[in-house]
């Protein structure tokens, strides 16, 4: 070995307690050969230990020759490219031939190797080829089967042989109990199969500062995987850096994992470009810490814990019983719904189903306003001041363009669009008040108790807001609405139409293996948005305790038409959504997390936050009010970016990032609803008078 190839640090076999460093020496004598030393290895602690470079080179070469270094069992346990022979014979099981364990074999996670006493799960392993009862749980690592029968070790001057040891024998290096060991009976020396070949000092890419030193088995929290466990370890004492031996020898790549279509690379922290969001393991769905080691696919922005990297389970299900599919429930409604227009169809279907469940086939709805659809409704309970005339929707009704936005006919009852799928609707002859024919004549005026899963104790009465600019808050989704709603007088609870007719149990594309059950309002972390939900109804999986979808996220349709091109669909994507690099939302220009739900257009490669494309509020922006010199309209204003300026109320000067405001069509003045209500109350005292004047002020 040339001087240029000498390592900077070395542990000598006869001076294992400390590391020796290569450095200039003066007035020193080599402890090995006795010659003067000008440049050699000196112990950083024991100033008397000096070795010249010639003796050090011979020691390094001698160690290489005397120490046969096979791949350690833990190393080979994750060597996915390795293909061992199918059958072998081994002295530890002389009665029968050993065969390689097949994928179809039922090997428990607690099964251990007969020779090294370590778990066999996840590594090439042999078992007995016969079905004898006394051989039923015999397993042998492939690496253990390849161990040499003899080796030299610094602890003993004799050749050590691999042999079984009686109970009570301990390894002379790590003090662990041994079943098989490299032993010398003359000297009573026993060395376990791990210590026989250990690399006592290693350099690891995950810790560039110093070399790591092997320590005996102890319980500690690993700085690589963050798991607290009893294991051998590699330690950097100056940095207080401590990792499991299994983590130290984790393979740099996993060529063909069972849960991903690309190879995975071992990285030692999350790349800076992906630290904008918290990240979760694709196998167990738990948080991936920023500075811990993990496996990563850069093509897909895909992360997996080291401890999860050998999983055979599907993505995101971890160790849950994913085999228990809800095969026996074929009639559950499939979410997400196909489009925004599909929600009204669901309301109609669920209302009819509810009618059958509570009154039987062929009966009229509970106490519906009308059982048929008259051409003219003289006085509807929700709009008694004007007649309602029955009309039929055509595509021309819905294509009126206003600058770059499309005017859509919205029902004042359910706040859903009127489309060709349900073309019959009623329109006020004097104002822009619209109702689906179903909402006008078929909605039950009384919602029976037990019909709504999240409020089963009392019946609910159908009501509507007194004014177009007055909102009520839905007790299920916590969203505002100015349409029809069901109200419980006893609890003072309000449920809007879309929430009232949601199924109690659904299937969802994002969680295919189990159905989801509607749960009462509570606080939880939504599995779709990853946000904390406060006092809202959700859909939860009874088999997977951490999966729960906010009711508002359940409303997101599976596809939305492109704003300027109807032929292009923007589809809802659930994780895993594989994408290389960083994704930005085309609306707010903020980063999009590919581990959350998002909308994506494959043709244009554009991505969107789900809540940038589809907002939650269940409010109809109704027609104008004329007051003096101003023509006022209610508008919804939302800042596009985090640092965008707020919308300022022209009266109270309060700023709003996301709110309904009153805007003057002429001068553009914005007024918040609170100031608008106060202004109208001053101008028109009394609720009844105010309501009447506002109704008459609506343009015909």
> How far are the Cα atoms of 151, 374, 557 from residue 379, in angstroms, in the given order?
101, 12, 35
Characterize the bridge pairing of strands 460-464 and 484-488: antiparallel
**312 Cβ neighbours under 8 A, 6+ residues apart:** 258, 259
Phi and psi dihedrals of 141, rounded to 5?
-55, 145
Contacts of 91 (CB under 8 A, 6+ apart): 149
Report which of 15, 77, 70 is spatially closest to residue 48, judged by C-alpha positions. Answer: 15
The total number of residues written for the chain in this structure: 700
With beta carbons less than 8 A apart as the criterion, state whether 112 and 120 touch. Answer: yes
Asked if the model's pLDDT at residue 365 lies above 50, the reply is no
- Tell me, yes or no, whether 127 lies in a domain: no
| 362 is a domain residue | yes
Residue 551 is given by DSSP the state: H
316 within domain boundaries: no
Q: How confident is the model at residue 689 (pLDDT cuts 50, 70, 90)?
A: very low
Say yes or no: 485 and 356 in one domain.
yes
d(CA 192, CA 196): 6
Q: 439 vs 332, 343, 375, 429, CA distance in Å? A: 24, 13, 15, 18
Q: Does some domain include residue 537?
A: no
Q: What is the pLDDT of residue 685?
A: 59
Which of 33, 51, 66 terminates a domain? The answer is 66
pLDDT tens per residue across span 561-616: 776 566 678 889 887 777 777 888 888 888 888 878 889 888 888 888 887 876 65
φ, ψ of residue 439 to 5 degrees: the values are: -65, -30
Q: Are 113 and 140 in contact (CB under 8 A)?
A: yes
In a domain, 631, yes or no: yes
Q: With respect to residue 553, please indicate whether it lies within any of the assigned structural domains.
A: no
Of 517, 504, 512, 498, the closest CA to residue 556 belongs to: 498
pLDDT at 74: 32
Quick one: 483 and 357 in the same domain? yes
Of 512, 604, 626, 609, give the one whose Cα is nearest residue 553: 609
Number of domains in the chain: 5
Give dist(CA 227, CA 249) in Å, integer: 16
Q: SS3 for 190?
A: strand
Q: Domain check: are 275 and 337 in the same one?
A: no
pLDDT of residue 347: 92
Least confident of 213-222, 363-372, 377-386, 653-662: 363-372
Q: How far apart are CA 403 and CA 394, in angstroms?
A: 22
Greater pLDDT, 448 or 349:
349
Residue-wise pLDDT tens digits, 629-655: 677 888 888 777 777 788 899 889 998
Closest residue by Cα to residue 436 from 495, 494, 388 = 388
493 and 419 fall within a common domain: yes
| Containing structural domain, residue 215 | 201-248
Are 273 and 415 in a shared domain?
no
pLDDT given for residue 24 in this prediction: 83
C-alpha distances out from residue 276 to 271, 305, 528, 585, Å: 10, 19, 18, 14
277 and 301 share a domain? yes
CB 700 within 8 A of CB 680: no
- Do 393 and 470 lie in one domain? The reply is yes
Pair (261, 237) in one structural domain: no
Q: Are residues 341 and 482 in the same domain?
A: yes
pLDDT reported for residue 300: 84
3-class SS at 441? Answer: helix
Report, as an integer, the average pLDDT of 390-394: 88
Residue 549 lies in a domain: no
DSSP annotation of 3 reads G
Q: What integer pLDDT is reported at residue 688 of this predicted model?
A: 41
Q: Are residues 230 and 264 in the same domain?
A: no
Tell which residue, 31, 11, 14, has the closest CA to residue 22.
11
> Does residue 367 surpass a pLDDT of 60?
no
Q: Rounded to the nearest 5°, which phi and psi values hold at 519?
A: -115, 150
Q: What is the dihedral of CA 333, 338, 342, 346, to 10 degrees?
A: 0
CA distance 116 to 405: 71
Question: CB burial class (10 A; 0-12, 13-18, 19+) of residue 608?
Answer: buried
Give tens-digit pLDDT for 58-109.
776 655 433 333 333 333 333 333 456 788 899 999 889 999 887 677 788 7
> Do the bridges between strand 405-406 and strand 36-43 make them parallel or antiparallel, or are there none, so unpaired?
unpaired
pLDDT for 218 equals 82
Tell which of 25, 49, 66 closes a domain: 66
**Location of structure tokens 């004097």:** 430
Does the CA dihedral 442-447-451-452 come out positive or negative?
Answer: positive
Q: How high is the mean pLDDT of the chain?
A: 79
Could you tell me if residue 642 is inside a domain? yes
Q: Which of 43, 66, 89 is the last residue of a domain?
A: 66
Q: Is residue 476 domain-shared with residue 416, that is, in the same domain?
A: yes
Alpha helices for 268-388 (secondary structure H)? 342-359
Label each residue of 564-600 as H, E or C: CCCCCEEEEECCCCCCCCCEEECCCCCEECCCCCEEE
Digit-coded pLDDT (tens) for 493-518:
999 999 999 999 999 988 888 899 99
- Asked if the peptide bond before residue 576 counts as cis, ω within 30 degrees of 0, the response is yes
Let me know if 514 is exposed, middle or buried by CB neighbors in 10 A (0-12, 13-18, 19+): buried
Residues 290 and 356 in one domain: no
Q: Are 386 and 361 in contact (CB under 8 A)?
A: no
Q: Is-contact 11 20, C-beta < 8 A?
A: yes
Contacts of 439 (CB under 8 A, 6+ apart): 411, 413, 414, 484, 497
């Amino acid at each position: 070995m040339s001087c240029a190839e000498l390592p900077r640090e070395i542990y000598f076999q006869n001076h294992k307690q400390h590391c020796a460093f290569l450095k200039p020496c003066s007035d020193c004598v080599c402890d090995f050969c006795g010659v003067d030393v000008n440049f050699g290895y000196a112990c950083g602690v024991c100033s008397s230990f000096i070795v010249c470079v010639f003796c050090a080179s011979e020691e390094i070469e001698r160690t290489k020759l005397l120490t046969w270094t096979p791949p350690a069992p833990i190393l080979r346990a994750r060597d996915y490219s390795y293909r061992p022979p199918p059958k072998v014979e081994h002295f530890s099981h002389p009665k029968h031939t050993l065969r390689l364990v097949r994928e179809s074999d039922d090997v428990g996670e607690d099964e251990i190797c007969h020779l090294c006493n370590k778990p066999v799960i996840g590594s090439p392993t042999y078992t007995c080829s016969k079905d004898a009862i006394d051989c039923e749980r015999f397993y042998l690592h492939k690496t253990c089967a390849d161990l040499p029968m003899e080796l030299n070790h610094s602890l003993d001057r004799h050749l050590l042989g691999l042999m079984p040891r009686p109970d009570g024998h301990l390894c002379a290096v790590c003090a662990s109990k041994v079943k098989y060991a490299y032993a010398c009976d003359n000297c009573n020396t026993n060395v376990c199969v791990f210590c026989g070949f250990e690399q006592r000092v290693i350099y690891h890419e995950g810790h560039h500062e110093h070399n790591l030193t092997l320590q005996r088995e102890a319980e500690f929290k690993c700085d690589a995987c963050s798991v607290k466990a009893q294991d051998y370890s590699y330690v950097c004492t100056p940095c207080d850096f401590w990792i499991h031996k299994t983590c130290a020898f984790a393979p740099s790549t996993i060529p063909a994992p069972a849960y991903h279509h690309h190879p995975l690379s071992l990285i030692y922290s999350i790349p800076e470009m992906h630290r904008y969001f918290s990240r979760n393991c694709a196998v167990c769905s738990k948080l991936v810490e920023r500075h811990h080691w993990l496996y990563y696919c850069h093509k897909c922005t895909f992360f997996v814990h080291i401890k999860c990297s050998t999983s055979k389970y599907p993505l995101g299900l971890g160790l849950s019983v994913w085999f228990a599919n809800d095969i026996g429930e074929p009639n559950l409604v499939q979410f997400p719904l196909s489009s925004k227009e599909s929600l009204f169809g669901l309301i109609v279907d669920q209302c009819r189903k509810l009618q059958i469940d509570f009154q039987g086939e062929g009966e009229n709805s509970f106490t519906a306003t009308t059982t048929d659809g008259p051409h003219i409704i003289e006085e509807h309970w929700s709009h008694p001041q004007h007649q309602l005339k029955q009309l039929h929707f055509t595509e021309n009704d819905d294509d009126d363009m206003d600058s770059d936005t499309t005017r859509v006919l919205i029902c004042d009852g359910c706040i859903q669009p009127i489309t060709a799928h349900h073309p019959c609707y009623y329109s006020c002859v004097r104002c822009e008040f619209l109702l689906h024919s179903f909402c006008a004549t078929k909605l039950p005026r009384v919602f029976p108790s037990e019909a709504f899963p999240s409020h089963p104790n009392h019946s609910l009465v159908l009501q509507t807001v007194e004014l177009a600019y007055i909102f009520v808050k839905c007790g299920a989704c916590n969203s505002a609405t100015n349409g029809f709603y069901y109200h419980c007088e006893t609890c003072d609870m309000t449920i809007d139409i879309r929430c009232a007719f949601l199924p109690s149990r659904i299937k969802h594309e994002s969680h295919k293996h189990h159905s989801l059950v509607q749960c009462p309002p509570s606080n939880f972390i939504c599995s779709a948005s990853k946000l904390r939900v406060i006092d809202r109804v959700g859909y939860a999986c009874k088999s997977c305790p951490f999966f729960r979808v906010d009711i508002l996220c359940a409303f997101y349709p599976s596809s939305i038409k492109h704003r300027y091109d109807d032929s292009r669909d923007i589809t809802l994507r659930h994780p895993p959504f594989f994408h290389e690099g960083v994704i930005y939302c085309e609306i707010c220009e903020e980063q999009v997390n590919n581990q959350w739900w998002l909308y994506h257009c494959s043709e244009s490669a554009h991505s969107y936050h789900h809540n940038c494309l589809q907002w939650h509020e269940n409010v109809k922006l109704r027609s104008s009010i004329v007051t003096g010199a101003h023509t006022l309209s209610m508008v919804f204003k939302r800042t596009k970016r985090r640092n965008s300026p707020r919308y300022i109320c022209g009266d109270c000067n309060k700023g709003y990032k996301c709110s309904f405001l009153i805007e003057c069509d002429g001068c553009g003045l914005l007024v918040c609803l609170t100031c608008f209500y106060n202004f109208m109350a001053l101008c028109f005292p009394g609720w009844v008078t105010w309501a009447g004047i506002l109704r008459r002020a609506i343009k015909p």
